[in-house]
Amino acid sequence: MSNSDILAQLDTALAKRRNADPASSYTASLYAGGTAAITAKITEEAAEVVEAAAEADDAHLVHEVADLWFHTMVLLQARGLDASAVQTELARRFGVSGIEEKAGRGRADTSAN
């Protein structure tokens, strides 16, 4: 499996699992639990990324980030989106400084960050 298209391949697999039996698929069980179940798992995985970042073990950090990415991709699929939507947004921001990008969001959006 090529690294260059792994996100698209994962999106395809995740889309197929949306209709799978929750008893036979972990991913299908997340979909069945709805946004609350998926976001709870994302919160758990994000905390594990932070914990791994405090360690010297880079492989552990990569493992935890992969878990986080996977679960955020499940959330995107649950909303009818896929990784290409995020890639498009990142491409839009590429070459724009973070300060400029944040200023361009508008007053209401920047108050939370």
φ and ψ at 89, to 5 degrees? -65, -40
Helical axes 6-17 vs 83-93, angle rounded to 10°: 140
Mean pLDDT of 47-63: 98
Please report which confidence band the pLDDT of residue 112 belongs to, taking 50, 70 and 90 as the band edges. Answer: very low
> Where do the structural domains in the chain lie, given as residue ranges?
3-106
- Residue 101: the pLDDT is 65
Kindly indicate whether the domain formed by 3-106 is annotated with CATH number 1.10.287.1080: yes
- Residue 41: the pLDDT is 98
